[in-house]
Structure 1
Amino acid sequence: MTPTPAIRRVTDWLVRGVRNGSANRLPVALFAVLTLGVFAFIAIADEMAEGELRKIDEWLFLSLRTTGDSPQPLGPPWLQETALEVTAIGGFPLIMLTLAGVAGFFIVTKHYGAALYAVLSVGSGALLSQTLKQYYGRPRPDLVDHLDTVHTLSFPSGHALVTTVAYLTLASIVIGFLDNRRARIYVLAVAVLVAVIVGVSRVYLGVHWPSDVAAGWALGAAWASLSWLIVHVLTLRKAPDPQDEQGT
């Protein structure tokens, strides 16, 4: 089915200012991450709903506590403070401020598609997180006192999911403008590292079960890959724009 001129104009505007990395291998990699992420999330969710993960969750959870004194997390006091500061990276206010700053930069530089892509990907990821929390209704861990304030349910971890979506989405935009392979790998590695340490901090602070975080990582990677794949496909279908050629 041939898209109408109106639909083509909308899709062309969406991807304007967004560039691809490796056009040949990227779709395969994104589809693989999408498939594996969804499969992993469903598997974890099923096991969690059946109570099969309780023992593993408790063992991993308590492994971050001082032996014989489970309420006390491992490490010196400054490590707790560091964990609180790290976990704030995945908090809603900081994610929104970062997203607003990045989107504003793309708008000022007339990369409107990149700005819209970032907002839609991260915004929909946050909405997905809250919807799933209400659906599964899993309570927060009750083995120790929480070292961070929480107001929502536990599964999946919103910090892990939204941080993964946000930083992978921003990394995907940056990677599109980089020709150096090492630079692209570095940007992607930083995004993954941020998502990992934020997720670990949630377990360390006693506010999430490990399976909450694992599910958040899996679905976050899948959602970011889906968003990236959609934009990649639209970019390939976009007719060459003279203005884009002049701006490169």
Structure 2
Amino acid sequence: MNSGHISTSLGNWLARGWKAGNANWFPVLLLCIAAFGIYGFIEIAEEVADGDIRNFDEVLFLSLRAAGDTSMLRGPDWLQETALEVTAVGGFPLIIFTVASVAGFFVVTKRYGAALFVVLSVGSGALLSYTLKQYYARPRPDLVDHLDAVHTASFPSGHALVTTVAYLTLAALVIGFVEERRARVYVLSIAVFVAVVVGVSRVYLGVHWPSDVAAGWALGAAWASFSWLIMHILKQRRTRTVE
């Protein structure tokens, strides 16, 4: 089957989603999220490249610091330690361990497609983050001391991007095994919450500009949605083949 036929089939299938209402709305929603996420990332990237977003970044960045003393964080003393622990959730060691554990579970239970999906989705998201950091080479914030170790460029936030991809991907897998809508909403909400708090922690610890994190969220949501869409298409195709 050539690429033109695949594109036509996909287009017809998505078009049926609009006509069939709730029956096929899900792939259309995923495609919209992916499109808006990519658009949001491009817009932020252009603002960063032009330097137009610097003042906005600084205002939000410094709003998390004590007035008159940028070396002091707002909030109680224990909040900094909490932020360090939260930001570790989006660190590569924990992400790799989590993805490997989940993929291993699916391999053991002979769900090889699910194992491959989670590895490819998160792995490609991490590679995308690294590539974009190299391309934009934006310096880290220079207004305060960094409260967490950093080794790469600033834009986009790798923690925000990879955490969003990883936890939305894991949410997609869990949702595939549950039927109750409230349970699905709960799982998705937890994934979004984790991505949000990890991203905020990066700004709070002084290692990322807010725009870095926003770009990471946008592209991470787009990447996860696109991966989810591919998985959905393959699952639907397999179901039709079986029928």
TM-score (norm 1): 0.88
How far is the alpha carbon of 1:134 from its aligned partner? 0.4
**Is 1:103 aligned to 2:103, yes or no?**
yes
Tell me how far 1:238 sits from its aligned partner: 1.7
Flag the 1:2–1:56 CA change in 2: closer, same or farther, 3 A: closer
In 2, Cα distance between the equivalents of 1:195 and 1:100? 19
Aligned residue number for residue 152 of structure 1: 152
- Cα distance, 1:48 vs structure 2: 0.6
Q: Does 1:32 align with 2:27?
A: no
Q: Distance in 2 between matches of 1:101 and 1:202?
A: 25
**Which residue of the partner structure matches residue 52 of structure 1?**
52
Amino acid at match of 1:147: L
Match of 1:223 in 2: 223
For the pair 1:203 / 2:177, whether they are aligned, the reply is no
SS at match of 2:72: strand
Which structure: greater helix fraction?
A: 2
Which SS does the other structure have where 1:25 is aligned?
Answer: helix
Hey, what does 1:141 align to over in structure 2?
Answer: 141
Deviation at 1:75, TM superposition (A): 1.1
C-alpha distance after superposition, 1:215-244 (max 9, x if no partner): 0000000000011111111111125677xx
Task: Tell me whether 1:70 sits opposite 2:70 in the alignment.
Answer: yes
Give the gaps of 5 or more residues in structure 2: 4-21
For residues 123-165 of structure 1, what are the alpha-carbon distances to aligned partners after superposition, in whole Å with 9 as ceiling and x for unaligned? 0000000000000010000000000000000000000000000
Structure 1 residues 29 and 240: alpha-carbon distance in aligned structure 2, compared to 1, 3 A threshold: closer
Quick one: distance in 2 between partners of 1:186 and 1:138?
Answer: 36
| Distance (whole Å) between structure 2 residues aligned to residue 51 and residue 87 of structure 1 | 27
CA distance in 1, matches of 2:237, 2:76: 54
Other-structure match for 1:17: none
For 1:14, the equivalent position in structure 2 comes to: none
SS for the counterpart of 2:141 is coil
Q: Distance in 1 between matches of 2:124 and 2:88?
A: 20
CA apart distance, 1:23: 6.2
* Superposition deviation, residue 2 in structure 1: 7.1
**What is aligned with 2:214?**
214
- Equivalences, count: 225
Give the counterpart letter for 1:208 in structure 2. Answer: H
CA-CA distance at 1:201 after TM superposition: 0.0
Name stretches of at least 5 consecutive residues in structure 1 with no aligned partner.
4-21
Deviation at 1:116, TM superposition (A): 0.4
CA distance in 2, matches of 1:151, 1:231: 33
Structure 1 ranges of 4+ moved more than 6 A? none
Q: Quick one: distance in 2 between partners of 1:23 and 1:48?
A: 41
- Match in the other structure for 1:18: none
2:87, 2:99 → 1: CA distance? 17
Written as runs of structure 1 = structure 2, the 5 A alignment for 1:110-121 is 110-121=110-121
Counterpart in 1 of 2:42?
Answer: 42
Aligned to 2:12: none
Question: In percent, how many aligned pairs have the same letter?
Answer: 71
Partner of residue 128, structure 1: 128
Deviation by residue 1:108-128 (Cα, 9 ceiling, x = unmatched): 111111110000000000000
Structure 1 partner of 2:6: none
1-side partners of 2:23 and 2:216: how far apart? 28
User: What residue number does 1:87 align with?
Assistant: 87
What SS class does the counterpart of residue 70 from structure 1 fall into? strand
- Aligned-partner SS, 1:238: helix
CA distance in 2, matches of 1:241, 1:36: 32
1:157-184: CA deviations, max 9, x gaps?
A: 0000000000000000110111000000
Provide the C-alpha distance between the structure 2 equivalents of 1:164 and 1:134, rounded to a whole number of angstroms. 20
